[in-house]
Amino acid sequence: MAAHGLAEDAFEIVVIKTSGDRIQDRPLSEVGGKGLFTKEIEEALLDGRIDLAVHSSKDMPTVLPDGLALTAFLPREDVRDAFLSPRARTLEDLPHGAVVGSSSLRRQAMIKRLRPDIEVVMYRGNLQTRLRKLAEGEVDATLLAAAGLRRLGLEGEITSLLDPDSFVPAVGQGAICIESRENDDATLKLISAIHDQETQIRLDAERAFLAVLDGSCRTPIGGLATIDGDTLHFKGIVLKPDGSEAHVTEETGPLASAVEIGKAAGAVLKGRMGPGFYEDAI
């Protein structure tokens, strides 16, 4: 509306509840992974009920249905994971044997890597549900995306922020993307006014990295691209679910080579993992 000077009645917002929103009692890795947050929305795009879809980039599979594409990105928010706890200031400060709730295999594996003594339990539910469980003492701490908390005006719930260099975020964390039909020129023209090129370059590298590793909700993977002038720096990590083994790589190159940089990082880690690395994650 702001970019084009259009009135509110020029737009209709359609709320679509996805399978990922409805299934709250099981880990997503058991019931289909990332596609659970996109399936119903993409069906609405393909049959013309909606013209564009707004997603959290980290929910997006690396392969999209034919005819659909990620066609715009909003400026990226904070990429970091937030630590929330009434018992400690940081993850390192938690007492021995503390219980941490998380539904993310990446966060679970990285917590176990840093603090093998901590018990990590599955923790589903919307943001308000997770905050309530934390307040009621069901867990001693939890980790959530800082960007989501900020967008909902809940920044005050954050106890501390984790360093993205040692606690590598999920691919696409903090970035809102827009998905639309590839041949819908009217919508493409509309959303081009709010597209952030720097975010797209960073996400091109991160998603290329994830695609090489066949990343899903069943594989603990982190990846973050940053830009310094004309140079893109990428850091990627893959872990065993129990945190007992991790491989890290860093790649640097020109912005125009973002996809190639991501692919190269993925290939490096794929070569280091060796056969059977993912078996525990399936």
Active site residues: 59
Residue with tokens 């905050």: 131
Pairing type for strands 99-101 and 141-145 reads parallel
Alpha helices by DSSP H, the chain:
19-22, 28-31, 39-46, 105-114, 127-135, 146-151, 185-192, 197-212, 258-273
Q: Give the three-class secondary structure for 160.
A: strand
Total number of residues shown for the chain: 282
Helix 258-273 to helix 197-212 angle (10° resolution) is 30
Type and span of the H or E element at 178 = strand 176-181
DSSP labels, 53-87: EEEEGGG--SS--TTEEEEEEPPP----EEEE-SS
